[in-house]
Amino acid sequence: MLANFLIGLREGLEAALIVSILIAYLVKSDRRHLLPQIWIGVGIAVAISLGFGAALTFGPKGLTFEAQELIGGLLSIVAVAFVTWMIFWMAKAARSLSGELRSQIDSAAEAGRWSLVIIALLAVGREGLETALFLWAATQAAAQGAGTTAAPLLGAALGLLVAVVLGYLIYRGALKINLSRFFTWTGAFLIVIAAGVLAYGVHDLQEARFLPGLNNLAFDVSETIPPTSWYGTLLKGVFNFSPATTVLEAAAWLLYFVPTMTLFLYQKRQRAQTPSRPAPEPVGSSGRK
């Protein structure tokens, strides 16, 4: 539940910040009449994301067990690829995101007010689809053995709710947080979660008989960490840890986690040593005219 809460919080806050920047810039530039187009685009993006999540959840139900595991394994790997790209993209683009969005708003406003619908749809929709895919994969992994997805989905919903509140408070200027530090810590944690999701995806492909080695275990600590125990459930829910892990699962986890975390921390250190440009005007300062 904690892992999905953090996923929902981080991804939801990214989308909330994008919406805040779009709205604040229109308000400050005295173009309030264009705000409905932003909200229409946001509404369409949310609807598409929910539909995508529903399709992922209920689509494979009528398939054979092997087909479900094959689809689940492949989608888990795709989810890891998307979230990894998102982590590095957000770390790199965070400083210039506000300026890029404002430039897009100006171009869209000149092209026609309905162009703003597309801007909002693409900006929020990308975050929504990535969130739906990764939450689905993380929820499936966390629910393996637990038999329920209620807690992971509740955690994700709470994370999204908190993100919306934080986004609104930032927009109103009532809250200021260190976004760089926030995205650094959550990015590092998401890499740990993604490594577990990847291992789970490999396990699914083994159960689908797409990959070999299902019975070739790297370790089995089920007696020390029973999957049904509270701490076994906690490790599974937060880190996607499996007490019985195959060699391929362990190899996939290590081959993803070690180089990805190393590169992430290295790039973070490089950016910290690079003199920063003048910071753009805070979103909260332009929330009211």
DSSP string, 205-263: HHHTTSSS-TT-EEEE-TTTS-TTSHHHHHHHHHH---SEEEHHHHHHHHHHHHHHHHH
> For position 269, what pLDDT does the model report?
83
> For position 156, what pLDDT does the model report?
79
> For position 288, what pLDDT does the model report?
43
Confidence class for position 250, pLDDT limits 50, 70, 90: very high
Calculate the average pLDDT of the chain.
80
User: Of 12-26, 139-153, 265-279, where does the model show the most confidence?
Assistant: 12-26
Residue 14 has pLDDT above 90, yes or no: no
Confidence class for position 24, pLDDT limits 50, 70, 90: confident
Where do the domains of the chain lie?
2-276
CB proximity list for 270: less than 8 A, separation 6 or greater: none
49, with CB counted inside 10 A (0-12, 13-18, 19+), is buried
Percentage of the chain with pLDDT > 70? Answer: 82
> For position 141, what pLDDT does the model report?
67
User: Which of these ranges, 128-137, 207-216, 269-278, has the smallest mean pLDDT?
Assistant: 269-278
Percentage of the chain with pLDDT > 90? Answer: 14
User: What does pTM read for this prediction?
Assistant: 0.71
177-199, pLDDT tens digit by residue?
Answer: 777 777 788 888 889 888 988 99
Confidence class for position 125, pLDDT limits 50, 70, 90: confident
Confidence class for position 286, pLDDT limits 50, 70, 90: very low
Residue 143 has pLDDT above 70, yes or no: no
Q: What is the mean pLDDT of residues 130-144?
A: 74
Q: At what angle do helices 2-28 and 115-143 cross, to 10 degrees?
A: 170
Q: What is the mean pLDDT of residues 76-89?
A: 85
> For position 163, what pLDDT does the model report?
86
